[in-house]
Amino acid sequence: MVADLIQITRSLPPPIAELASRLALTLLAVRPDLEAKARLGWGSVNFRHPRAGFVCAIFPMEDHVSLVFEHGRQLSSPLLKGDGKQVRFIRFAPDADIPEDELAILLAEAIALKA
């Protein structure tokens, strides 16, 4: 996953690449049962759970990194933004702190929703 993440972020500013890496490592630290797989065509790193399937994905952009939850509309976190029918996201600026505890709760909720 690391080599693929480097490939995804190689044309982006270094602070974005660093943030995407920190975020991916944080998700895997709080939920070691997740499997990360880079999707080069989508420019994302997707996270799957053995029972719940696809849970979320990291999308590095030119000026931010989005953490997208497939069924985010059904989750209760005030961190989630968006008004789509299903998907919600958290947008991280390059200098953002990563709220590890809140992400652990969100991941647990997202997994419970689909498991």
Q: What share of the chain is helix, strand, coil (3-state, %, to 5)?
A: 35, 25, 35
Q: What is the pLDDT of residue 5?
A: 75
pLDDT in tens, the chain (115 residues): 566 777 888 889 999 999 999 999 999 999 999 999 989 889 999 999 999 999 999 999 999 999 999 999 999 899 999 998 999 999 999 988 999 999 999 999 999 998 6
Q: What is the pLDDT of residue 10?
A: 84
